[in-house]
Amino acid sequence: MSTAGTALRPQLDPKRLASYISITPDGSAIAYFGKMDMGQGADVGVAQMVAEELNLPAERVHIVMGDSGTSINQGGASGSTGVWLGGAALKNAAAEARLILVEMAAKYLGVAADDLTVDNGMISAKSDPKKNVSYGELIGGRWFDQEIAWNGQYGNPLALKTRAKLKDPKSYKIYGKSPPRRDVPAKILGTADMVIDIKVPGMMHGRTVLPPVAGAVPVSFDPGSIKHIPGVTVVHEKGFLGVVAAREWDAVKAARDLKVTWSDVKPAFPDQKDIDKHIPNAPVSKSGGEKENVSGEKLAEAFKGAVRIIEATYEFPFQSHASMTPGIAVVDYQPNGQTTLWTGSQKPHYTGDGVAHILGLKNEQVRGIWVPGAGCYGRNDAGDAAVGTAILSRAVGKPVRYQMMRHEGHDWDPKFPASVHKVRAGLDKDNKIVAWHFHSKSFDRLNVHSNESNSSDNLFGQMTGAKPKPQLVYGSPSESYKFPAKSSTWDVIPPLLEHSSPLRTSHLRDPLGPEIHFASESFVDEVAFAIGVDPVDFRLQHADDQRDKDVIRAAAEKSGWQKHTAARKQRRGDVAFGHGMAYAQRSGTRVAIVAEVEVNLKTGKVWGKKFTVAHDCGVVINPQTLTQTIEGNIVQALSRATLEEVMFDNKNVTSVDWETYRILDITEMPESVDVVLINRQEIAPTGAGEGSMRPVTAAVANAIYEATGIRIRQAPFTPERIKAGLA
């Protein structure tokens, strides 16, 4: 594929159109995407957005992505913003390019611009179709030298404004079609490089030596303990300890055999079984609230006037990314040239900045190149691996490939924060809700920031002395329920260990989604049943947004929902089965889910048999990719709802492999996922990468209740918890 003279490309500048789009000699387009795709097909959707505005077939738009050397930082894969924000910027760049090409064609053909029409990269005069010129003839192989209006922001907020009039949705030709994914053939055939495959000339191999007790630091080490392994360099910088060798197996053996004297530290963690007691009793670092329509005083008055109060408490555990491969990176440190990073991180621009920060370089001195990896859906250990690799490469003056071991990936990756949620509803004598209060108490959702650009947010950066800068932030349910007095509040508690912690917390797919809405939507069901109202009817009565009501109705109708006001406890032998509803908003996207589950009353095993999902994320660009993205959300969310929980003792994380940290396997997959796409052409896309993750846990919990009459308020819904509830 031609890259339109990339070697001679103008320096990247967010105000220059050439930074976002170019035309090849054959008239195709290249879009330079400052995000990347984590296997959901966002690149295809963005290609369709660009193609629509350029009036080109989607297959003639090529996407170059995830490389700070070729694209402006648009924030990486983050918050379902690939199509929503990143695609919107490139769509505007494409519209600007189309306008410029039409202006160029008007001069070239000697006709007025408003007499021109564009189709398949060919610009023709409406008054004389014989007068025509192609994109390739006008500018193919050269670069746009025009400016485009930029909002002055990098990352997710980056936006561009075009002088062109965007296409009317009624004239869309590319949207609504499903061109195939571009990454799948090479992945199936094994012909694509993954980050684990990257090799560069002169490359060494590294490993780190991590403490057996969280918080301990290496006081000394015995070089003689690894003298039997030739050519090993030990790298010791404050609390960081690593080894580098020419052969990977030698690095593995050296990290394993090196005798280290560790500092004597007091174990930092409470007993695993006491974490649900620790959170409510922990001191508060910061409090906040969202979506409050009354003051605390008026809310208290509303509850005081209630004749009946319903309340419940829900618990959610620490969870791990548990990526299929642990953190991997290759860094070639060049202090007087350009340092290069190859990473599987979903934020290669920011991860490159993190490498620059630990090495004391300017950001522009490090090129961050994304190479497909195991996926992370948030902040996993990829950024930690990049910084650790940079430290090792600097120490030996050669390129280094570093890969965490399996147990280190499970143990030391950033975690999804554990939380406790208390919900209360006050009712009057007619069972009408007069007061509603949702309160969360949790570990910080950004104890380490998700963008990986600063050493203070990195495990190995902290080990070398960078002081943590926690964000102290949480959130509230995203829904439109309307009650006379309603308030959502939260408290963030201190981390169990201030720095270099295996339980430091950050984003995992749909930050704040599964746990908050597990509590919120479970409680909605509890209140509905308490007052004798069908759960779907209750949601429709109180949701205050028509789009929300539409997805609730659509999911209920598609699933064949049967109204009920109490648990039906249906049985087939030793198996109970039931249905549960949950819904949520996420950044403008609306999702409602009906889960059908089976519960084995002897073993306690929960199977999420069938899911019906109604999904509204604005205009549908690629129905097939969107449906597959939703299916992926359901599977991962079901795994987290029924199996996933980080275990630890007072010294360290103990769930360090696939036996001790279980994820859903192929035998536990849903039998079917039925998806109803609500296509709103007049509304810009608002993202689908996380929205359908959000209501799953609650829908499963509500279905378990409908099947068994047992309300499970602690996730995950393991056989042990189900059997305890049944007992």
E-assigned strand segments in 269-371:
286-290, 308-316, 319-320, 328-332, 339-343, 366-370
Task: For 632-659, write each residue's pLDDT tens digit.
Answer: 999 999 999 999 999 999 999 999 999 9
pLDDT band at residue 377 under the 50/70/90 scheme:
confident
Q: What is the pLDDT of residues 148-205, one digit of tens each?
A: 999 999 999 999 999 999 999 999 999 999 999 999 999 899 999 999 999 999 999 9
Q: Is residue 642 part of a domain?
A: yes
Instruction: Note the pLDDT tens digit of each residue in 498-513.
Output: 999 999 999 999 999 9
287, β-bridge pairs = 491
Nearest to 452 by CA among 538, 329, 616: 329
Q: How many percent of the chain have pLDDT more than 90?
A: 95
Lowest mean pLDDT among 52-61, 284-293, 491-500: 284-293
419, pLDDT greater than 80? yes
Which residues 6+ apart lie within 8 Å of 432 measured at CB? Answer: none
Is residue 122, in this structure, part of any structural domain at all?
A: yes
Confidence of residue 294 (pLDDT cuts 50, 70, 90): confident
Q: Give the global pTM.
A: 0.96
Q: Residue 150 belongs to what domain range?
A: 6-181
Q: What is the pLDDT of residue 318?
A: 98
Distance CA 266, CA 650 (A): 9
List of residues 6+ apart from 621 with CB closer than 8 A: 45, 48, 49, 83, 175, 176, 685
pLDDT surpasses 60 at 5? no
Return the CATH number at 699: 3.30.365.10
Q: Amino acid identity, residue 237?
A: E
Question: Average pLDDT of the chain?
Answer: 96
- Per-residue pLDDT for 716 more than 60? yes
Task: Please give the Cα distance from 367 to 69 (Å, whole number).
Answer: 6
Better-scored residue on pLDDT, 40 or 358: 358
**Confidence band (pLDDT; 50, 70, 90) for 6?**
very low
Nearest Cα to Cα of residue 422 among 501, 313, 519? 313
d(CA 676, CA 287): 38
Q: Please state the rounded mean pLDDT for residues 202-221.
A: 98
Mean pLDDT of all residues in 539-550: 98
* Backbone phi and psi for residue 251, each to the nearest 5 degrees, phi listed first: -65, -40
**Is residue 575 in some structural domain?**
yes
Band of pLDDT at residue 375, cut at 50, 70 and 90: confident
Structural domain includes residue 75: yes
pLDDT score at 9: 86
The predicted pLDDT at position 4 comes to 43
Residue 357 and residue 383 in contact, taking contact as beta carbons nearer than 8 Å: no
The pLDDT assigned to 2 comes to 36
User: Directed axis angle between helix 513-530 and helix 623-642, to 10°?
Assistant: 80
Give domain status of residue 310, yes or no. no
Nearest to 584 by CA among 673, 524, 507: 524
DSSP assignment of 120-172 equals TTEEEESS-TT-EEEHHHHHTTS----B-EE-S--STT--EE-SSPPPPGGG-
Q: Write out pLDDT tens, residues 664-703.
A: 999 999 999 999 999 999 999 999 999 999 999 999 999 9
- Looking at residue 292, its pLDDT comes to 66
Quick check: is 543 in a domain? Answer: yes
Q: What local confidence, expressed as pLDDT, does residue 296 receive?
A: 82
Q: Is 485 exposed, middle or buried (0-12, 13-18, 19+ CB in 10 A)?
A: buried
Given 165, 181, 197, which residue is the final one in a domain? Answer: 181
Q: What is the average per-residue pLDDT within 403-423?
A: 97
Is there a domain that residue 545 lies in? yes
Q: How many CB atoms within 10 Å of residue 656?
A: 22
**What residues are paired with 401 via a beta bridge?**
205, 330
**Domains of the chain: total:** 2
- Among 122, 149, 181, the domain-final residue is 181
pLDDT bin (cut points 50, 70, 90) of residue 297 is confident
Cis upstream peptide for 169 (omega within 30°): no
**Does position 27 have pLDDT exceeding 90, yes or no?**
yes
Give the DSSP per-residue string, 418-470: PEEEEEEEEE-TTS-EEEEEEEEEEE-TTSS-TT--SGGGSHHHHHTTPPP--
In this prediction, residue 23 carries a pLDDT of 97
Is residue 530 situated within a structural domain? yes
Q: Of 181, 205, 223, which marks where a domain is finished?
A: 181
Residue 8 reports pLDDT greater than 80: no
Cα four-point dihedral sign 82, 84, 89, 91 = positive
